[in-house]
Structure 1
Amino acid sequence: MAGQACLFCEIVKGERSAHVVMDAPDAVAFLDARPLFKGHTLLVPRDHYETLTDLPGEFLGPFFEHAQRLAGAMESVLGAAGSFVAMNNRVSQSVPHLHVHVVPRNRKDGLRGFFWPRQKYESDEEAADYAARLSGGLT
């Protein structure tokens, strides 16, 4: 990444605003700006790694423990029936910084295959409310 700006690194450093859900020593989670469903969260390692294969093995378990907690919060805080947890590596990876999508899911929510509808938060306040609720629900 030498010489290139990384959107997610800027969020991690606080140089770019985001609705932060989790701020841990090794990872940060924040709401996706173009969510599939409200509460759609992106989990990123604090250090810049482009893909899953770049993430050092010793960080794999702790990183996915964060994803597990976020998936639980989708159900306990947002009342989702379940969650969708996924990542892309290079192909379809819109930001070249490792990130895991944790998305609240409900039956008949309209998500079919890979034709994913995008939504918007009604306001910055609504997004902040979702981030605060999810953050409070992490156990």
Structure 2
Amino acid sequence: MEDCTFCHIVEGDESAHLLYEGEEVVAFLDANPAVRGHTLVVPRAHVDDVLLADESTARAVSETARAVALAMRETLRPDGFSVFHTTGGLVGNVEHAHLHLLPRFEGDGLGLSLSRERLADHDPERLVSRIGEGL
């Protein structure tokens, strides 16, 4: 896409601190990191959603995230990782699918909390039935 920053990075038209370049995926440091080592794993193809991309692309993103995490574990020695992927207009302004890989360190100040409610008694069965039909 003409105005997509990630497409420009993938094509080499815009600079980024690349950690990995593969046939289907690139991984680079986030220009505005939440923590040291915050990495974006991005498919080369412009797709809106990693989870809904073709199987090869989704697998390549997952395998690349794993490879980068293993390298980070050896070099940065984080206490753990946070990994997330978001889509849609409600969650950000980048329409090119990407996965965030964040090495976590004690006291890093990063908060990724979810507001939670108890699952209603009737919901589990209904959800299992409805979603299961799609599987």
TM-score (norm 2): 0.76
Q: Following TM superposition, where does structure 1 have runs of at least 4 consecutive aligned residues deviating by more than 4 angstroms?
A: none
2:22 to 21, 24, 45: 24
Q: Partners in 2 of 1:23 and 1:98 — Cα distance?
A: 16
Question: Is 1:51–1:89's contact at 8 Å kept on the other side of the alignment?
Answer: yes
AA of the residue aligned to 1:14 = G
Query: How many Å apart are 1:69 and its aligned residue?
Result: 1.0
Query: How many Å apart are 1:53 and its aligned residue?
Result: 4.2
AA of the residue aligned to 2:108 = D
Aligned residues: 112
RMSD between aligned residues:
1.5
Runs of 5+ in structure 1 lacking a partner? 115-139
1:79 aligns with 2:83: no
Query: How many Å apart are 1:68 and its aligned residue?
Result: 0.8
AA of the residue aligned to 1:28 = V
SS in 2 for 1:35: coil
AA of the residue aligned to 1:37 = V
Partner of 2:34: 36
Question: Is 2:35–2:110's contact at 8 Å kept on the other side of the alignment?
Answer: no
Q: Partners in 2 of 1:53 and 1:112 — Cα distance?
A: 24
- The Cα offsets for residues 52-111 of structure 1, whole Å up to 9 and x where unpaired, read as 244112332232011111122221111211111111111313310000011110123211
Q: Partners in 2 of 1:44 and 1:21 — Cα distance?
A: 11
Q: Partners in 2 of 1:38 and 1:106 — Cα distance?
A: 9
Q: Partners in 1 of 2:31 and 2:50 — Cα distance?
A: 22
Question: Is 2:87–2:97's contact at 8 Å kept on the other side of the alignment?
Answer: yes
Q: Partners in 1 of 2:84 and 2:46 — Cα distance?
A: 18
- The Cα offsets for residues 9-59 of structure 1, whole Å up to 9 and x where unpaired, read as 000001111111101111001110100111111010011101124411233
Question: Is 2:42–2:97's contact at 8 Å kept on the other side of the alignment?
Answer: yes
AA of the residue aligned to 1:77 = T
Identity value in percent: 38
SS in 2 for 1:42: strand
2:50 to 46, 49, 52: 52
1:103 aligns with 2:114: no
Question: Is 1:12–1:28's contact at 8 Å kept on the other side of the alignment?
Answer: yes
Partner of 2:65: 67
Query: How many Å apart are 1:112 and its aligned residue?
Result: 2.0
